[in-house]
Amino acid sequence: MKKYNVAVVGVGAVGIEMLRVLKQRNFSINELRVLARSERDIEVDGQVYSVKAVRPQAFEGIDIALFAGTEGEKGAAVTFAAEAVKRGAVVIDNGADFRMDPKVPLVVPEVNAKDIKKHRGIISNPNCSTIQMVVALWPIHKKVGIKRVIVTTLQASSGAGRSAVEQLKDELTDISRRGYNDVQVNSVIKAMPQQLGYNVFPHIGSFVELDYTNEEWKLVHETHKIMHAPKIKISATTVRVPVRTGHSESIYIETVRPITPEKVRELLAGSSGIIVVDEPAKNYYPMPKDVEGRDETFVGRIRKDAFVKNGLWLWVVADNLRKGAATNAVQIAECVISK
């Protein structure tokens, strides 16, 4: 079996998870280079990695470069992707810089793996909330067509980076010591625009067109591009919730042709990358605490709209650091080497 020289750029939350996923999935690696802005040693699951400074020459001989695209490494792909491609690497970027570039495939392997063959050296990894949504919607769209989507995301603190997880932890500690009405917000790192401990707020990203955030527009534009379905009407509200890891989504869809909840369960249960957990009478449904560390997308609460003929509800949960970022990127790399 051929082995490949792989670079992981960035050692924030997603970069760490990329190292973990590469090892767990037994990716065929000859040499692994871990790159970041500064040199140091890091330890992941008991294994020490020597982190080298990212620079153009670091990509010499690299076959696949995975850019984590988070925390201190934001913008690294803009600076170094072309240098990596020039030296023969295929770049898989987890950041937002290339996602809507018409020359760059935006890929979720369960949905549009064929788009990988169109790459010109760079392949983009979608936003975390988009990935789990399209994994769940794609089998339904293929079967009966989807004409409308209304989605509310409940996104974990880790989606805003490691510092946001620390902020949530510090806020909860502060509340337990001082009381709910006496949170000393200045005593914690401000990685998020509002207090998250014992709170939720509908603000992820920056507010742009029509008072939607850019995170909400990502769900629209990225879904259109991945599913090659620009006519689907999509509206989103993105909400930050006091969860460490694992994004949840309440998704309402209207299909072109009718389909029963029973058929949807059967269809999704037989689809790649999906696990159906849907016995609400027994309290069985997907929850973030149960999906952390998993690579699949979990779907439950599948039910008809009581008033709209072709309306359906889904509850979709996935680990945003794994399927929402690192695992999807490694799966793209697996598709690249398989071709």
| Catalytically annotated residues | 128, 247
> DSSP string covering 64-77, please?
EEEE---GGGTTHH
Phi, psi of 260, rounded to the nearest 5 degrees: -85, 155
> Which token pair is 95?
């950041």
The residue assigned the tokens 């769940």 is 136
Which neighbouring-strand residues pair with 276? 299
| SS3 call for 264 | helix
Contact 299, 286 (CB under 8 A): yes
Contact 78, 97 (CB under 8 A): yes
| SS3 call for 142 | helix
Give the C-alpha distances (Å, rounded to integers) separating 144 from 21, 138, 140, 147, 267. 34, 10, 6, 10, 11
- In Å, how far from its chain's centre is CA 279? 26
Q: C-alpha dihedral over 233, 106, 276, 243, to 10 degrees?
A: -90
The order of strands in the sheet holding 297-304 is: 233-240, 146-155, 247-255, 311-318, 297-304, 274-276
